[in-house]
């Protein structure tokens, strides 16, 4: 890990942000025609388009749950989303993110209303500048709402981290690469429940406390943006 690069200068970060500041965001609902629901979310240089299909019959049949439906997520980096072209096809990283995304989204959907069915969420990263799983979930949650899936709340996601021994919100590429800790979370703003939590790096409980506070505040701001986008699409209709 290189330590020569200065990531914090006079309390400001390489892109001029304060420690507790998110990158600028953009959100949109209903951007694709064929999908049952779709969403777009951008945070700084990270952009994701998500689509939702379902509820629909789950195949193969032996995976069906008699009592409830399931959510299946696919997370994919487009080959042109990163500096060196990524070879198309599933990666180990993508598989894992798909799994934790399922864990993040499942608790907000009334899955008991859809026995034996699946709701498929496809998240395509168009450009990647760190925080792709968070932005993917933000787009995915908009797409679920756009598809009219009954939900208990909205999932909003962002990451906190540590650079130069300082907790900060929403790492961008260079900060993620040379930083010490990456802590992506997702939460249901209505209940305060954290439904995605991953962390790598060296830390302790006090620092986790601080970073979680930062990330929770960040998720609340993300939620505002998601709601705006949904209001824009659905606000006028009754």
Partner 1 sequence: MMEITEIEEEAALDNIKSGERIDDRDLKEFRDIEVVTGVAKKAEGSAKVVLGDTKVIVGVKFGLGEPFPDTPDEGMLMVNAELGPMASPDFESGPPGKDATELARVIDRGLRECEAIPLEELCIEEGEKVWKVMVDIHVLDHDGNLMDASALGAIKALKEAEMPGYEDGEVLRDEGEDFEVLKTPIACTIGKVDDKYIVDPGLVEEEVVDGMVTVTWTEEELCSLQKRGNGGFQKEELLEIFELAKEKSSELRKFI
Asked if residue 201 binds partner 1 (CB under 8 A), the reply is: yes
Q: Which is nearer to partner 1, 151 or 229 (CB)?
A: 151
Residue 166 vs 203, nearer CB to partner 1: 203
Closer to partner 1 at the Cβ: 217 or 228?
Answer: 217
Stretch near partner 1 under the rule CB under 8 A, chosen from 5-13, 35-43, 139-147, 201-209: 201-209
Q: Tell me the C-alpha distance between 25 and 42, whole Å.
A: 5
Q: Say whether residue 20 binds partner 1 (CB under 8 A).
A: no
140: number of Cβ within 10 Å: 31
- In this complex, which beta carbon is closest to partner 1, that of residue 10 or of residue 206? 206
Tell me how far apart the alpha carbons of residues 93 and 115 are, in angstroms, rounded to a whole number. 30
Q: Which two tokens stand for residue 218?
A: 């960040």
Nearer to partner 1, 59 or 205 (CB): 205
DSSP 106-173: HTTB-GGGSTTEEEEEEEEEEE-SS-HHHHHHHHHHHHHHHTT--BSS-EEEEEEEEETTEEEES--H
Site for partner 1 in 74-113 (CB under 8 A): 92-93, 95-96, 98-100, 102-103, 106-107
* Interface with partner 1 (CB under 8 A), residue from 78, 117, 126, 197: 197
Q: b/e map of 162-176 (b: 16 or more CB within 10 Å)?
A: bbbebbbbbbbbbbb
Beta-strand pair 70-77/117-127? parallel
Q: Virtual CA dihedral for 82, 87, 29, 154, nearest 10 degrees?
A: -90
Cβ–Cβ < 8 Å for 131, 158? yes
Report how many residues bind partner 1 under the rule CB under 8 A. Answer: 34
| Window 205-234: contact mask with partner 1 (x via CB under 8 A) | x--xx--xx--x------------------
Residue 176 interacts with partner 1 (CB under 8 A)? no
Interface with partner 1 (CB under 8 A)? 92-93, 95-96, 98-100, 102-103, 106-107, 183, 187-188, 191-205, 208-209, 212-213, 216
């Amino acid at each position: 890990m290189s330590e020569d690069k200065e990531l914090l200068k006079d309390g400001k970060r390489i892109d001029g942000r304060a420690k507790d500041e998110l990158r600028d965001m953009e959100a949109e609902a209903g951007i694709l025609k064929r999908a049952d629901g779709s969403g777009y979310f951008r945070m700084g240089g990270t952009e994701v388009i998500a689509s939702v299909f379902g509820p629909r019959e789950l195949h193969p049949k032996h995976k069906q749950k008699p009592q409830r439906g399931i959510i299946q997520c696919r997370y994919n980096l487009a080959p042109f989303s990163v500096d060196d072209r990524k070879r198309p096809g599933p990666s180990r990283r993508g598989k894992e993110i798909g799994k934790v995304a399922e864990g993040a989204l499942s608790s907000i959907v009334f899955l008991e209303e859809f026995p034996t069915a699946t709701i498929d969420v496809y998240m395509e990263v168009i450009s990647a500048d760190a925080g792709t799983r968070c932005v993917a979930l933000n787009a995915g949650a908009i797409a679920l709402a756009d598809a009219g899936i009954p939900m208990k709340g909205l999932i909003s996601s962002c990451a906190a981290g540590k650079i130069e021994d300082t907790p900060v919100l929403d790492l961008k590429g260079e900060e993620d690469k040379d930083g010490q800790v990456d802590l992506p979370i997702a939460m249901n703003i209505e209940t305060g429940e954290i439904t995605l939590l991953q962390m790598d790096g060296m830390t302790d409980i006090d620092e986790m406390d601080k970073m979680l506070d930062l990330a929770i505040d960040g998720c609340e701001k993300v939620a505002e943006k998601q709601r705006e986008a949904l209001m824009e699409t659905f606000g006028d209709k009754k």
